[in-house]
Structure 1
Amino acid sequence: MRVSIRPAHDSDGYQLIRLIENVFFEYPGCVMDVDGEIPELRHIQTEFAKKDGEFWVAERARRIIGCIGYTPLPKRARTPRGIELKKLYVERCERGNGLAGKLLRLVEDAARTHEASFVELWSDTRFLPAHRFYEKRGYLKGDDTRELFDQSDTVEFYFKKQLES
């Protein structure tokens, strides 16, 4: 069956929760508290639109198998415009087929459309395959980390990619 990518709808919440929860299960200590930590999953389109962002889902046979979104970063005087990549997840059995790369290109293309000069993201320190994926695509891991003080005791690495015009 063919994979299709489309803008997310608020009604996708249940499937997004299932997808991300399955990814979290791959990493010891990662727990999912939707209502306490990521309630935006229940109304993903509305929440991203409020922040002038976009969110997409990838489907196979009406089952969501991947997702990604972005939000613009606040514009600061005399600094380049950027966007933050959010929630790139692909079902384990769908990895290695180029889907994550297609989703990432959606965000990078949207960044260029919005005249952003860079894309940044934060990734859990445990998500080593994701780090390799980003680095292969030109994202540089910075020195910054941040703690989320969540139930998973998450610490995240910072990544950034400068976009060519």
Structure 2
Amino acid sequence: MTIDYRRGRDDDAEGLITLIEKCYAGYEGCVLDVDNEEPQLRHIKTYFEGLGGEFWVAEKEGNVVGCIGYKPVEGGVEIKHLYVDGDIRRQGLGTTLCDLVEEAAVKRKCEKIVLWTDTRFHEAHSLYERRGFVGKTETRELHDLSKSVEYYYEKTLP
């Protein structure tokens, strides 16, 4: 399986929306409302550049099969929008995508990487914990259509 990793572009919108809808379909009650809750998906490169962050996509045969971004936060960076197509999970995509953010954080001399993840995304929690993130002690409610409750995770960098 050949996967190409590249910087996200604004014209990735359709592929990103398709990927995230497919990911959400695997979890009861998850709804993607792009226009009201995630409008940045329509202009992902511009959005992350405006935050001072970066965004990457993973492509297989021209289709977006994974993505990740980060934005600066006090003392570090926050992972945003880590998604991997369910048909090809557990093949290293999530690890490679996380590596991109971790490498960027080290270059920026960050002290930590943080993230919030839906309590339903058990596979993602396992990935983060294998990578040295500590969490599940703090939660927040988003009051969105999916009625999301998220766990906080943090990893201290050397």
TM-score scaled to structure 1, two decimals?
0.94
Q: CA RMSD in A?
A: 0.8
Q: 1:148 aligns with which of 134, 142, 151?
A: 142
Q: Return 5+ residue gaps in structure 2 as ranges.
A: none
Deviations 1:1-55 (A, max 9, x none): 5211000000000000000010000000001100000000000000000000000
Q: How many angstroms apart in 1 are the aligned matches of 2:96 and 2:145?
A: 31
Q: How many angstroms apart in 1 are the aligned matches of 2:32 and 2:4?
A: 27
Deviations 1:124-144 (A, max 9, x none): 011111111111110001421
**Which runs of structure 1 show a deviation greater than 6 angstroms over 4 or more consecutive aligned residues?**
none
Instruction: Give the equivalent residue in structure 2 for 1:78.
Output: none
Amino acid at match of 2:79: L
Corresponding residue pairs, total: 158
Indicate whether 1:137 and 2:131 are aligned: yes
How many percent identity over aligned positions?
Answer: 47
Amino acid at match of 2:110: A
Q: Determine helix, strand or coil for the equivalent of 2:32.
A: coil
TM-score scaled to structure 2, two decimals?
0.98
Q: Superposed, which structure 2 residues align to 1:3-14 within 5 Å?
A: 3-14=3-14
Indicate whether 1:70 and 2:70 are aligned: yes
Instruction: Give the equivalent residue in structure 2 for 1:120.
Output: 114
Indicate whether 1:104 and 2:104 are aligned: no
Q: Return 5+ residue gaps in structure 1 as ranges.
A: 76-80
Amino acid at match of 1:22: K
Q: How many angstroms apart in 2 are the aligned matches of 1:163 and 1:15?
A: 32
Amino acid at match of 2:142: L
Q: How many angstroms apart in 2 are the aligned matches of 1:19 and 1:142?
A: 26
Deviations 1:97-155 (A, max 9, x none): 11110000000000011110100000001111111111111000142111110001001
Amino acid at match of 1:30: C
Q: Superposed, which structure 2 residues align to 1:52-63 within 5 Å?
A: 52-63=52-63
Q: How many angstroms apart in 2 are the aligned matches of 1:36 and 1:148?
A: 13
